[in-house]
Structure 1
Amino acid sequence: MVLKLHGLSVSTCTARVVACLHEKSVDFELVPVDLFARENKQPEFLAKNPFGLVPVLEDDGITLFESRAITAYVAEKFKETGHDLIRRENFNEAALVKVWTEVESQQYNPAMEPIIFEFFAKPVVGIEPDQTVIDASLEKLKKVLDVYEARLSSNEFLAGDFYSLADLHHFPGTFYFMKTPWSSLVNDRPRVKAWWEEISARPASKKVAEGMNFGEV
């Protein structure tokens, strides 16, 4: 049975899962969900995710939502194929992967997401971006990136000298951020810049990026 991923290729959360599936060399079907037509708020979709958000993964009798939970599931279930994203053979390294996936979720994404929403999503529906929100988020992001710059001074990637889910989870949001006028926040930090160039150059990342042309300005 081929996995079914309900979502939208331009969605950062969907892209996060798609990148993981490509890293694990897993065949899947992307089932488009028209957010503008509010298909995600219809009973059929709400039966899969009661919060009405993409993506949703259907696999072998189980239905999952929340992108980071899905990537953890995929990385564990398909541990024998593709790239080892969870460092399952090394307890300490696996623990650090979990720490830095939490950092992305709790520190990095909350600072990054409002910028992307304001700069890309609002104009698409004819709403003026709120620069106050952007500025506040940029200040938060600067502090997070300072921590990353220090962390990456001793490691090639966030959890160690190996690419993992901790890095992968950053790709979609950072991909869009680098198209904004504030990409210097990454480029002015040499270690963060090198890390970003490394993760964005991966074949899986490039494949995902092909579908991420939302809100080009």
Structure 2
Amino acid sequence: MVMKVHGAVISTATMRVFAALYEKDLEFLFVPIDLRAGEHKKEHFLALNPFGQVPAFEDEDLKLLESRAITQYIAHVYADKGTPLVCEGKPMATVGVWMEVEALQFDPLAVKLQWELVYNPRLGMATDAAVVEENEAKLAKVLDVYEARLSQSKYLGCDCFTLADLHHLPALTNLMGTPLKKLFDARPKVSAWVADIVARPAWAKVLAMRNQQ
């Protein structure tokens, strides 16, 4: 059986899973879920993800939810395929730390900023300047920490591209298309890291999927 990803190409969480699969050169079937029609709240999808959020993932009899858990499954179970994405021994602990940093420090701010600067304008809704100002300042402090970390290694977890970097790609790509690009450009190590990871061939395939919709 081919692995299945139930989700939406505009979903950053779904894109995260696509990126891992493409990095691993794995075949998969994309099952589009119509978010605007509320398909993610329908009974057939809730059987896969009871929280009604994309993506949901199937690999034979295994069903998973939560994008970061899915990418870790892909990285570990298909360790012999494509890009390693994880490390063995002590370096994996550092990769794990930066995966947590992405989920707990970077992403909550990125979500709020994407809504105000990317999604609300598309939906014809006003941008809340106060929300942007508050979270931009917080993101700047997080990126200062990233700048220091990237002065010690080429990538966040180690000197190899891993899930710690990959997990940033969807939100990072969206933010780079907004005025907040200046925050990344102002930090040389961060800027070089961004340029490196967004140029990966696997990520280009994910963007091509999104652009076809």
Aligned residue type for 2:189: R
In 2, Cα distance between equivalents of 1:212 and 1:151: 31
Partner of 1:206: 204
Aligned residue type for 1:160: C
Task: Quote the RMSD (CA, aligned, Å).
Answer: 1.2
Q: CA deviation at 1:212?
A: 3.6
Q: CA deviation at 1:127?
A: 2.1
Partner of 1:8: 8
Determine if contact 1:5/1:29 at 8 Å carries over to the other structure.
yes
In 1, Cα distance between equivalents of 2:14 and 2:145: 27
Partner of 1:22: 22
Q: CA deviation at 1:123?
A: 2.8
5+ residue gaps, structure 1, are none
Deviations 1:6-27 (A, max 9, x none): 0111211000000000001110
Partner of 1:133: 131
Percent identity, aligned pairs only, is 46
In 1, Cα distance between equivalents of 2:137 and 2:117: 16
Q: CA deviation at 1:124?
A: 3.0
Deviations 1:74-125 (A, max 9, x none): 11111111111111xx311111111110000000101111111122222333
| TM-score for both structures, normalised by structure 1 | 0.94
Partner of 2:112: 114
In 2, Cα distance between equivalents of 1:118 and 1:10: 16
Partner of 1:61: 61
Task: Please list, as runs of the form range in 1=range in 2, the aligned pairs for 1:178-197 lying within 5 A after superposition.
Answer: 178-197=176-195
Partner of 1:162: 160
Q: 1:142 pairs with 120, 131, 140, which one? A: 140
Q: CA deviation at 1:46?
A: 1.0
In 1, Cα distance between equivalents of 2:124 and 2:209: 22
Aligned residue type for 2:177: K
Q: CA deviation at 1:133?
A: 1.2
In 2, Cα distance between equivalents of 1:24 and 1:211: 17
Partner of 2:81: 81
Aligned residue type for 2:113: I
Determine if contact 1:10/1:213 at 8 Å carries over to the other structure.
no
Partner of 2:169: 171
| TM-score for both structures, normalised by structure 2 | 0.96
Deviates more, 1:119-128 or 1:103-112: 119-128
Aligned residue type for 1:51: F
Deviations 1:173-214 (A, max 9, x none): 000000001201001100000000111111111111223459
In 1, Cα distance between equivalents of 2:163 and 2:97: 11
In 2, Cα distance between equivalents of 1:209 and 1:152: 25
In 2, Cα distance between equivalents of 1:133 and 1:211: 31
Aligned residue type for 2:10: V
Partner of 2:94: 96
In 1, Cα distance between equivalents of 2:186 and 2:45: 43
